[in-house]
Amino acid sequence: MALLCIIIASPVQSAAETTPAWRGDFPDPTVVRDGTRFLAFGTGPRVPVLASDDLVTWTALPPALDGVAAWAEDRDVWAPGVALVGGRWRLYYAVPRRADGTHCVSVASADSAAGPYHDDSAGPVVCQAETQGSIDPEPFIDADGSAWLLWKSQGRPEDNEAALWSSRLSGDGLSLVGDAARLLTRERDWERPLVENPSMARWRGRYLLTYSAGLWQGPDYATGYAVCTRPSGPCARAEDGPALAGDAVLAGTGGGSLFTDDRGRLVLAFHAWDSDAVGSEAGGARRMHVVPVAGEAGALRLDGAPFGVLDGIDLRPGAVVARGWAIDPDQPAADVAVTIDGIEVVSAPALGRRPDVDRTHPGWGAATGFAIAAPMAAGTHRVCVVGRNRGLGRPRQLGCRAVRMDGDPRGSFDSAARFGDQAVVRGWAVDPDQQGPATVFVYLDGAPVAAPQTGERRPDVAVAFPSWGSDRGWAAVVGVGPGRHEVCATVYNRGAGSGRTLGCRAV
C-alpha cells in the first residue's frame, strides 16, 4: 500500500497568530455543512452546538439533543458525531448505560442538522462491555454513499488496550451491519497510554484516519494520522510522531474531526488548551480551532503552516528576483518574504498564476506564484524565501540559494558606422549594482566625446538576460574629421566592481 509522508511540525508560533474559532470550552468538536452554513457539535450536556457561515465567526445555538435514550443515564454525554444517513440527520454520541454505567454509543435523529435530536432507541448501537465500553463515535459517508461508523473501545491499559474500530451502518444509520473491524491500537511511545477519537475522510483517492493519543487532561495529548485501504482497514501510520502537537501557545491538540468546506478543501476541527492554563483546575478550556488540511507531494499537513517551493533566483542589475509558489492554508494568499544573509529585505503576497500548482494541489486556486525582486549589493550572498505564517502554524523556509553578484558592469560595443563627418556608435550595457540606466563613455582617439545612458530597446538582450529587461541599449553620434580614427566605449561603474571597456572600432 502506498503511504503518505507526514511532515511533523509544531502548530503555533505566537499567541497573536493563534486565534481559536471559539473562545469558550468546546471539546471534541465535529463539524458538518448544512447548506450555506457550518454546524459544530461538542462534548457537553445535551450536546452544545455552534453555527458559522465562514468557519471564523461562530454563534451558539440551543443544544442539539432533547434528551438521552431511556436506557441511558443523563450524564457524561461525550464526543458526538453527526451525518445525514437514510434521509435523516443522525447524531451518534457516547453515554453511560443505566444498568451498569458502561459507556455505549447511541443514536438520535432529527429532520434538520441543528436538531432537536430525539433518541427513542431501545439499546446501544454498539457497547463493547468486554473492553469496558465504546465511545467517540464518528460517522463517515464514503464516495459510493455507504455509511460507516468509527469509534473507540475504552480498554484498560493493564489488560486490554484501547482500540479504534469501524463497521458499516444499515441504510437508515440506526444499527451496524456485519462484523466490526479493528483499525488501530497504541503502538508508538507518544501514543501512551491510549488512542481515541477516530475520524475518516477521502483525500485524493485515499482513506485518511486521524486520531488522538495520550491523555486529554494533559499537555501532550496530540493528533496522529494513518492511511487506510478502505473504511474497514487495514490502516498504516505514515510516521512515528504526531502530525499535530502542542507548542509554547497551545497544548493538548486533539479531539479532531475531518470535514470538507465550501471550497471542497479538507479541514480539521480540533480542541486545545492554552499552554499556560492546561486543565480545568488551572482555569483552562479546551477551545475549538479550525484549520484547512494541506497536501504537498504526497504529504498531509495538519499544522496550518505555509508551504511551497523556491523554483529559482534570477539576477537583475542591483537586485535578485526569487521565483516560486507558496500556499498558506489559513489565508487566501500566502505572504512571502525574501531574506538576504538572514535579514528580511522585502515581502509580497503570492498571487501570480500557477496552473501547475492548482493541478497538483487542488482547492487552493491558481493564484499562488511569486516573483519578488529584492535589492542586493555585489558579492556572494545567501538568498532565502520564507512563507510568513498567518493564523495557525509557524513560518516555513521554502528554499535558499547561494548567489554571487560580481558588481562589474558588462555589455558590448556592437557597431560604428560613419556618415560623412559623423559616426553613429551603438551597443548595450548593464551595471549589476544599479537598477536604473548605466552610463557609457565614448572616446575618439583617446579623448572623451560622449556619455550616453542606456535606455534604447534591445529585445535581444532581454532574451539573453530575461531579468534585465530590454531597455539596455545605448547609442551616440560622434563628430569625426577626415582620415582614420579609433572610437572606444567604456561602462562607468557604480558601487562594487570597476569600469569595463566594451571595445574599440575603427572609422
Residue 58 confidence class, pLDDT cut points 50, 70, 90: very high
Residue 9 confidence class, pLDDT cut points 50, 70, 90: very low
Residue 157 confidence class, pLDDT cut points 50, 70, 90: low
At 161-181, the pLDDT tens digits run: 899 999 999 999 999 998 999
pLDDT at 239: 76
At residue 299, does pLDDT exceed 90? no
Contact 32, 39 (CB under 8 A): yes
- What average pLDDT score do residues 220-225 get? 94
What cell was used for 11? 502548530
Q: Say which residue, 280 or 300, is predicted with more confidence.
A: 280
Residue 155 confidence class, pLDDT cut points 50, 70, 90: confident
Contact 251, 274 (CB under 8 A): yes
Contact 314, 320 (CB under 8 A): yes
Distance between CA 302 and CA 503 in Å, rounded?
60
Distance between CA 277 and CA 249 in Å, rounded?
10
- What average pLDDT score do residues 443-453 get? 91
CA 204 to each of CA 207, 211, 290, 294: distance values in angstroms, whole numbers, following the listed order: 8, 19, 21, 11
Residue with cell 443515564: 73
At residue 303, does pLDDT exceed 70? no
Ranges 6-20, 84-98, 291-305: which has the least confidence: 6-20
Q: What are phi and psi of 357, to 5 degrees?
A: -70, -40
Distance between CA 29 and CA 25 in Å, rounded?
10
Ranges 46-50, 131-135, 408-412: which has the least confidence: 408-412
Mean pLDDT for all residues in the chain: 88
- What average pLDDT score do residues 136-160 get? 91
Report the predicted TM-score, pTM, of the whole model to 2 decimal places: 0.70
Residue 44 confidence class, pLDDT cut points 50, 70, 90: very high
pLDDT at 3: 35
Buried b (16+ CB within 10 A) or exposed e, 356-379: ebbeebebbbebbbbebbbebebe
Residue 59, amino acid: T
At residue 154, does pLDDT exceed 70? yes
- What average pLDDT score do residues 310-327 get? 88
At residue 19, does pLDDT exceed 80? no
At 375-422, the pLDDT tens digits run: 887 788 999 999 998 766 678 899 999 998 776 788 899 999 988 889
At residue 345, does pLDDT exceed 80? yes
What cell was used for 135? 465511545
